A = this chain, B = another copy of it.
Amino acid sequence: MEAQSTRAEIVAAADDLFYRQGYAQTSFADIAAVVEISRGNFYHHFKSKDEILDAVIAARIERTERVLARWEQAAKQPADCIRSFIRMLLANRGDIKRYGCPVGTLSAELAKLAHESQPGANQLFTLFRTWLAKHFSLLGRDADADALALHILARSQGVASLANAFQDETFIRREVRLMEEWLEGEIEKS
């Protein structure tokens, strides 16, 4: 139990630091300082930063799956799920303005590092992509469900990127409204 909980604490601290200051910029020492454990205890759980990265990605995937399941439970119709995705930009706007989107910024950083875990990080994008496509299919858009999913995922990424650069809340709200209007237009076409 104790070992499990220390491992989870390391992953949680690394998850947070990788998001706030980037993967390359976060050292073993940074993570150990947050968790307050000895070097020996740390190495007992993880031998390398790459191992921690894989555990962080797995934790993010699990967390995202729980969020998507919650959105499905709360939805009265398929479009509500897509609306929940769009409105995530508002719900998380404080963090997005400061640190960008956790999925997009990790994927971009690992691409530049040519890191072997980049495909793992992309699984987070793929999770949203297939989930959104499923709900566009449920709206009767089987033929272009994946294209619609990628479109709204890209719109969301772009808003997160400029929100991070310009810290502009009015911009986020305006773009969320445009994304919702776009969704209404697609529903009408269905």
A residues with CB within 8 A of B: 20-22, 24-25, 98-100, 104-105, 107-109, 111-114, 122, 125, 147, 150-151, 153-159, 161-162, 164-166, 168, 171, 174-175, 178
Contact = CB atoms under 8 A, between A and B. Distances in A.
A171 B150 contact: yes
Contacts of A99: 111-112
Nearest to A170: B147
A8 B178 CA distance: 44
A124 to B, nearest CB: 9
B175 A162 contact: no
Interface residues of chain A: helix, strand, loop or mixed (majority): helix
Contact of A151 (B108, B153, B175): B175
B165 A161 contact: no
Contact of A154 (B20, B98, B175): B175
A166 B25 CA distance: 25
A177 to B, nearest CB: 11
